[in-house]
Structure 1
């Protein structure tokens, strides 16, 4: 299991980091494999040990554009924490991916049993969501916005 103190895990206090990593199972995902599809059941999540993953969004009639690329230490998947537990994006391995995989229902149960742990995990995931929302918005404006429009402000 990972002992990394940077990336997603670095945002957790040591005791909560240790508790979370106790749920980890190391996995390897083949280069180019689809990890999950937008709208699918979000029943697990990963913390990347090595390699990378591309997050993409479904656009009817077009190949899914990549909205963000993740690497070592990054959380892959946050939809497991919030009902209805469905992926908001898709993901594909970029090269061979090694990661710690977590069973979402077990982690959610632990969050419910220990409110301090649950608050720490939820806060760390919320920080990831905020960064991803901004990155996704910027990328989609780059791809589909009017020329010279750029990404505006706002915190919607």
Structure 2
């Protein structure tokens, strides 16, 4: 499986500089909630250090981890697509430092520079495709280990 595509490294230096012009540094403590499914997706992050768990609430008192994200990974893509609500929840597994981007500011930058919008959208699309493939492989492995396909 190829390594995950890193948002900031995939952009041209010019586009990366434009995006970073609206970034701010933030941190989250271990076990800190970053966002919850159904909440307003009005920002996204690029993780600098630490680990974030993406989870899906299965029933009221049970959640399953669907991905672990680490340094360089994009956290949050729901800001890009209507209705701009989170599909998953995210929690800091360890102390996390990240660059935070306000979605409205980024959309304004994209309106001003359509090549930035295209580059950002294509890169995020490639990241999502990679994550879907990774998740699919994990589900197949899990299914095979637990007696599926008999």
CA 1:75–1:13 in structure 2 vs 1: closer, same or farther (change >3 Å)?
Answer: same
Q: Distance in 2 between matches of 1:137 and 1:40?
A: 26
Normalised by the length of structure 1, the TM-score is 0.84
Normalised by the length of structure 2, the TM-score is 0.87
Match of 2:72 in 1: 73
Q: Distance in 2 between matches of 1:141 and 1:104?
A: 34
Q: Distance in 1 between matches of 2:139 and 2:33?
A: 21
- Deviations along 1:81-120, one digit per CA (max 9) or x if unpaired, are 1111011111110111000101001101111221101001
Q: Distance in 1 between matches of 2:58 and 2:134?
A: 17
CA 1:124–1:73 in structure 2 vs 1: closer, same or farther (change >3 Å)?
Answer: same
Q: Distance in 2 between matches of 1:86 and 1:140?
A: 25
Q: Distance in 2 between matches of 1:137 and 1:64?
A: 19
Match of 1:50 in 2: 49
Match of 1:119 in 2: 118
What's the offset of the Cα at 1:50?
Answer: 0.6
Match of 2:103 in 1: 104
Unpaired stretches in structure 1, ≥5 consecutive residues: 1-5, 151-156
Q: Distance in 1 between matches of 2:140 and 2:43?
A: 30
Q: Distance in 2 between matches of 1:64 and 1:140?
A: 16
Q: Distance in 1 between matches of 2:134 and 2:147?
A: 18
Q: Distance in 2 between matches of 1:57 and 1:139?
A: 15
**RMSD (Å), alpha carbons:** 1.9
Q: Distance in 1 between matches of 2:55 and 2:8?
A: 23
